[in-house]
Amino acid sequence: MLIAWEGDSALPNAIQRYSRFKICATFRPWQNPTREWHPFAYRPLMKPYVICHMCTSLDGKIIGSRWGKLSGYKHESTLFETTAASFGIGAWLVGTTTMDEFDSAKFKLPRAPKGFKRGDHVANRKAKSFGIGADAKGKLRFKHNEVEGDHVVLLVTERVSNDYLAHLKSAGVSYLFCGKKEIDLKVALHKLAHAFKLRKLMLQGGGTFNGAMLRAGLVDEISHLTVPVADGGRDIASMFDIPSKPPARAAAKLRLLSHKLMPGGVIWARYRVIARNAV
């Protein structure tokens, strides 16, 4: 029996010569790292097309509560949500801090049942829309499995406890393991594509999470709403705040796809990422 390899490791050249064989099973190393794999067939990595959709000041800051009322809009969120909805993409992705705005109040977790089995859990295979959040340490709490009608999916690591996983399972929340201590974003997108058949994904995180996605080379397109406000705050979160030391050069080069003048002097520009620099 041939085993299909799913992972980031380099594959032997011998695979090229055995591509005519039929794949009969799939080996996922994150589910059973001790199992051996056959080097003669594999399933190529997949990922959704990722559009980062953000609304910022002229200087790239993203804290809309600092801008005051925008002319032509009841609230800055109205501008963001209506333009995001126009894409017709039924899945959005954010980091832990942003997802924390949608979860329940914090409470002590009950103990997991004895013999609780760890592993990826898809709670709703019929869901049509998804709210996806990263939670490497198991901080979030959910009493319901939806956020405004979108099924909740969490990206977790081996660091989270059985108590936390049992809590998510009882709430009907889906979760996928995507690393040992930190979220491996490439693995996360690969798993989302396979588990939920996602072809497109809208990135709407904070600056740090967006920056991590950009640094990993996983952003395909940027949808940027620029409001006529100059924030000026030095330590205010921006659209892309790449973690750790500042990169030696810009993280990506872009090509303008379209631009549109919106009510109130807002400019909506869309860019395709055409070159990614290692940072």
pLDDT of 45 reads 63
pLDDT of 278 reads 54
221 beta partners? 51, 272
* Among 67, 117, 108, residue whose Cα is nearest residue 266: 67
Secondary structure class of 171 (helix, strand, coil): helix
The answer to whether residues 92 and 5 belong to one domain is no
- The alpha carbon of 14 is separated from its chain's Cα centroid by a whole number of angstroms, namely 34
Give the domain range for residue 17.
1-44
Instruction: Answer yes or no: are the C-beta atoms of 170 and 198 closer than 8 Å.
Output: no
DSSP codes, 190-254? HHHHHHH--SEEEE---HHHHHHHHHTT---EEEEEE-S-----TTS-BS---SSSPPSS-SEEE
pLDDT of 249 reads 86
Q: pLDDT tens digits for 214-233?
A: 999 999 999 999 999 999 99
The answer to whether residues 8 and 128 belong to one domain is no
pLDDT of 39 reads 36
pLDDT of 154 reads 98
The answer to whether residues 130 and 259 belong to one domain is yes
- For residues 111 and 36, give the distance between their C-alpha atoms in angstroms, rounded to a whole number: 34
The answer to whether residues 147 and 104 belong to one domain is yes
Instruction: Answer yes or no: are the C-beta atoms of 236 and 207 closer than 8 Å.
Output: no
Q: pLDDT tens digits for 43-80?
A: 556 899 999 999 999 999 999 989 988 888 888 888 99
The answer to whether residues 146 and 176 belong to one domain is yes
Q: How many domains does the chain have?
A: 2
- For residues 153 and 124, give the distance between their C-alpha atoms in angstroms, rounded to a whole number: 10
What are the E-state strand segments in 9-160? 25-27, 49-56, 91-94, 130-134, 146-147, 150-156
The answer to whether residues 34 and 59 belong to one domain is no
Residue carrying the six token digits 């740090």 = 208
> In the chain, which residues have pLDDT < 50?
1-42
| CATH code where residue 124 lies | 3.40.430.10
The answer to whether residues 13 and 122 belong to one domain is no
The answer to whether residues 122 and 10 belong to one domain is no
The answer to whether residues 125 and 257 belong to one domain is yes
Q: Which amino acid is at 24?
A: C
The answer to whether residues 150 and 196 belong to one domain is yes
The answer to whether residues 271 and 143 belong to one domain is yes
The answer to whether residues 66 and 9 belong to one domain is no
